C-alpha cells in the first residue's frame, strides 16, 4: 500500500494526500463538522398542511414572489453541490475539511429536496415555477456571472501549486461561497421568511430557518478556508488581488439589485426592492468585514428580524464570548430564579390515585416548592424569583386555592416574587391582579389581546411591577425592532417606565441558540433606549 502523506498547507490535489485525521491540523473544520452533524434535520419533519390554506389567501404578486424565490433557490442548491464536488473538494487535502465538505454536500442535497417538498405540496405547475423570473435580463446577468466563476470550477483543472491556479481557486470560492451563498441566497431567504411576519406560511418559514442555520456554517467554513489559504500563501497577499476580490463582490451586488427590482416590481408584505436591496448592502458589508475588508455601503440593517442570518463567525461560538459563560455574573447584574408553580404542576399531572381533589395536592405542592424557593434565594442570591403559572389563564384553576398556594411560597421571602402567566388574560386578569406578588409577568408580543386588557385594567396593578413580554417566543426569527419598540412605548404610556420589566413572552428553549441570542440582544437594546 502506498504510504499516505500529511501535507503542509490546506491546498493540494494529490489523491493520497490528506487522508489522516489525527493530528487535526485545522480545528475550526473539525468543530464545524461536529456542529453540522448535530444540526441534522429532514424537511418532512415539518407539516405544510396549514401553509396550503394560507397560500390560497396570497395575492397574485405574493404568489409570484414566492415562486420566483423557489425557482431560483431550488436548482442553485444542486449547482453549489456540483461546485463543492468538482471545484472545492479535489483541491482541499485536510481530512477534517473533507469531512465537513461531505456533510455540506449532503446538506445542499437536503435543501434541494426541501424545495422539492414545497413544490410538490403547493399547487405549483413545475414549468411555471422554473419559468418564474426567466426572460428577465437581470436573471441572465446573474446566470452569466455564475457561469464565469462557478462554471469554471466544474470545467477546468486547476494547478493549485501555482500562483495563478491558487488565484483561480480563490476567485471561484468567493463567487460561490460569499456571493451565491452569502449574499444572493440571503436576499431570497429574506423574502421567503417575510411571509411568516404576517402570520402566513409559518412552516415554510421554519424550513427556511433550518436552511439558514446550515448556511451560516457553510459561510463560516468558506471564510475560514479563504483566510487560511491567504495566510498560508503569501504570494496571494497583494493589494492588486485584494482589490480584484473586493470588486468581484461589489459587481455581484449590482446584479442582485437589478434582480430584486424585477422580482419585486410592487411592494408586498411590507417589502419593496429598495428595502431588500438595503438588506443586501448591509449583508455585503458584513461579508466584506469577515474577509478583512472595509465596509462599502455603511447602511443600517432594515430587517433586524433577520439578524440571526447576518453573522457567521460570531454565531458559531457566541456563548464563549459572553460574560455569563461559566456562571460568572458581571458586576451590577443578576439572575432570576425560576420554578414551575404548584397550580401548573398539579393541573398537568395525573394524581387521581393519590389525592381526592387537586386543591389538596396544590397546597402540598406549594409547601414542597417553598423549600426549593428558599434554597434558591439562599444559594444564588437572585434579584427576584419567578413562579411560572400558565394554567391560571385557562379557567381550570380555583383562584382561591391558587392564591393560598402562592402565599405559602411568598411567606418570609426576602427577595421580590414574580408570577408569570401566559395566554389570554381577558377573563382572568381581575383575579390574577389580587395575588400577593411583587411582579406580574404576561405575554404581549405574540398576543393581540393582552395589551388592551392591561390598558383597561391598569388601576388594578398600580401597586405592582409588570413583567412585559415584548419578544415573541413562538417564532424562530428575530422580532421587528419597530414592533418591539411600539409595544414598549405603549406599555410605558399605560403603566409608566419605572413599573416595567422587559422580557420575552415565554421561554426561548425552542429557538436556535443564535436566534435566541439576537432576540435577547434586541430586547436589551430597546431596554437601554428607555432606561
CATH number of the domain enclosing 326: 3.20.20.210
User: Quick one: 137 exposed, middle or buried, by C-beta within 10 A (0-12, 13-18, 19+)?
Assistant: exposed
372 and 398 co-located in one domain: yes
Residue 256, in any domain of the structure: yes
Same domain, 297 and 330: no
- Strand (E) or helix (H) holding 247: helix 239-263
What 8-state DSSP symbol labels residue 179?
Answer: I
42: left (phi over 0), alpha (psi -120 to 50) or beta: beta
Kindly give the residue spans of alpha helices, DSSP state H, lying in 381-423.
Answer: 399-410
Q: Which domain holds residue 363?
A: 320-530
- Distance, in Å, from the CA atom of 287 to the CA atom of 282, rounded to the nearest integer, reads 9
Strands 336-340 and 500-504, by their bridges, are unpaired
What residues pair up with 501 in beta bridges, in sequence order?
A: 467
Q: How does DSSP assign 250-316, residue by residue?
A: HHHHHHHHHHHHHH-SS-BTTB-HHHHHHHHHHHHHHHHHHTTPPPSS----S-GGGGGGT-SHHHH
Q: How many CA atoms lie within 13 A of 358 on its CB side?
A: 16
| Same domain assignment for residues 62 and 200 | yes
Q: Are 428 and 421 in contact (CB under 8 A)?
A: yes
10 belongs to a structural domain: no
Domain match, 104 and 225 both: yes
* Residue 117 a catalytic site member: yes
Is 470 in contact with 487 (CB distance < 8 Å)? yes
In contact, 74 and 115? CB cutoff 8 Å: yes
Domain boundary among 315, 332, 348: 315
Q: Vertex 70, ends 64 and 76: CA angle to 5°? A: 140
Answering whether pTM is above 0.85, one says no
> Which residue in the block uniquely carries the three cell numbers 380555583?
398
Angstrom distance (rounded) from CA 169 to CA 288: 18
* Per annotation, catalytic residue among 117, 275, 297, 355: 117
pLDDT tens sequence for the chain (531 residues): 344 444 578 888 755 566 777 888 889 899 899 888 888 888 888 888 778 888 888 888 888 778 878 877 877 788 788 888 888 888 898 889 999 999 999 999 999 999 888 888 888 877 776 665 556 787 788 878 887 877 676 666 778 889 998 998 899 899 888 998 888 888 888 877 788 777 788 888 888 888 888 888 898 899 999 889 988 999 998 999 999 999 999 999 999 998 888 777 776 666 788 888 998 999 999 889 888 889 999 998 887 766 544 444 333 332 333 333 344 555 666 788 899 999 999 988 877 667 888 899 999 999 999 999 999 888 888 889 999 998 898 888 999 999 999 999 999 998 999 999 988 898 999 999 999 999 999 999 988 889 999 999 999 999 999 999 999 988 878 888 888 999 999 999 999 989 999 999 988 877 777 788 888 989 988 988 887
Kindly report the CATH number assigned to the domain that includes residue 145: 1.10.620.20
How many angstroms separate the CA atoms of 428 and 394, rounded?
Answer: 8
Domain boundary among the residues 258, 290, 315 is at 315
Q: Are residues 383 and 447 in the same domain?
A: yes
Amino acid at each position: 500500500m502506498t504510504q499516505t502523506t500529511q501535507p503542509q498547507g490546506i491546498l493540494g490535489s494529490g489523491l493520497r494526500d490528506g487522508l489522516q485525521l489525527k493530528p487535526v491540523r485545522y480545528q475550526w473544520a473539525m468543530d464545524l463538522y461536529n456542529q453540522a452533524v448535530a444540526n441534522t434535520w429532514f424537511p418532512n419533519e415539518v407539516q405544510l398542511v396549514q401553509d396550503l390554506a394560507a397560500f390560497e389567501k396570497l395575492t397574485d404578486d405574493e404568489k409570484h414572489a414566492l415562486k420566483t424565490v423557489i425557482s431560483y433557490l431550488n436548482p442553485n442548491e444542486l449547482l453549489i453541490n456540483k461546485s463543492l464536488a468538482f471545484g472545492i473538494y479535489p483541491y482541499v487535502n485536510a481530512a477534517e475539511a473533507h469531512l465537513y465538505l461531505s456533510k455540506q454536500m449532503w446538506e445542499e442535497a437536503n435543501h434541494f429536496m426541501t424545495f422539492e417538498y414545497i413544490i410538490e405540496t403547493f399547487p405549483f405547475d413545475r414549468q411555471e415555477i422554473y419559468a418564474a423570473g426567466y426572460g428577465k435580463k437581470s436573471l441572465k446577468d446573474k446566470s452569466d456571472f455564475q457561469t464565469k466563476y462557478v462554471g469554471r470550477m466544474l470545467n477546468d483543472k486547476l494547478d493549485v501549486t501555482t500562483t495563478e491556479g491558487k488565484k483561480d481557486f480563490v476567485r471561484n470560492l468567493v463567487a460561490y461561497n460569499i456571493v451565491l451563498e452569502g449574499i444572493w441566497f440571503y436576499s431570497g431567504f429574506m423574502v421567503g421568511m417575510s411571509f411568516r411576519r404576517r402570520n402566513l406560511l409559518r412552516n415554510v418559514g421554519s424550513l427556511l430557518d433550518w436552511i439558514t442555520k446550515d448556511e451560516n456554517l457553510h459561510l463560516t467554513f468558506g471564510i475560514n478556508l479563504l483566510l487560511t489559504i491567504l495566510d498560508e500563501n503569501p504570494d496571494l497577499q497583494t493589494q492588486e488581488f485584494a482589490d480584484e476580490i473586493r470588486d468581484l463582490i461589489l459587481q455581484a451586488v449590482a446584479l442582485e439589485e437589478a434582480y430584486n427590482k424585477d422580482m419585486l416590481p410592487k411592494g408586498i408584505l411590507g417589502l419593496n426592492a429598495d428595502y431588500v436591496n438595503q438588506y443586501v448592502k448591509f449583508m455585503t458589508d458584513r461579508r466584506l468585514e469577515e474577509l478583512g475588508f472595509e465596509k462599502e455601503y455603511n447602511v443600517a440593517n432594515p430587517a433586524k428580524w433577520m439578524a440571526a442570518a447576518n453573522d457567521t463567525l460570531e454565531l458559531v461560538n457566541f456563548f464563549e464570548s459572553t460574560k455569563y459563560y461559566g456562571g460568572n455574573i458581571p458586576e451590577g447584574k443578576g439572575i432570576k430564579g425560576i420554578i414551575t408553580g404548584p397550580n401548573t404542576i398539579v393541573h398537568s399531572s395525573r394524581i387521581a390515585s393519590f389525592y381526592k381533589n387537586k386543591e389538596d395536592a396544590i397546597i402540598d405542592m406549594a409547601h414542597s416548592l417553598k423549600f426549593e424557593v428558599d434554597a434558591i434565594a439562599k444559594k444564588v442570591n437572585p434579584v427576584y424569583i419567578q413562579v411560572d403559572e400558565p394554567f391560571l389563564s385557562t379557567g381550570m384553576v380555583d383562584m382561591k386555592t391558587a392564591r393560598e398556594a402562592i402565599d405559602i411560597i411568598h411567606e418570609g421571602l426576602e427577595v421580590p416574587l414574580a408570577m408569570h402567566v401566559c395566554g389570554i388574560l381577558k377573563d382572568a386578569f381581575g383575579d390574577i391582579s389580587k395575588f400577593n406578588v411583587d411582579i406580574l409577568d404576561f405575554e404581549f408580543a405574540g398576543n393581540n389581546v393582552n395589551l388592551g386588557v392591561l390598558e383597561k385594567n391598569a388601576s388594578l396593578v398600580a401597586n405592582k411591577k409588570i413583567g412585559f413580554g415584548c419578544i415573541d417566543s413562538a417564532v424562530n426569527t428575530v422580532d421587528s425592532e419597530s414592533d418591539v419598540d411600539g409595544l414598549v412605548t405603549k406599555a410605558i404610556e399605560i403603566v409608566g417606565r419605572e413599573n416595567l420589566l422587559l422580557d420575552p413572552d415565554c421561554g426561548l428553549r425552542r429557538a436556535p441558540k443564535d436566534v435566541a441570542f439576537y432576540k435577547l440582544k434586541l430586547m436589551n437594546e430597546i431596554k437601554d433606549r428607555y432606561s
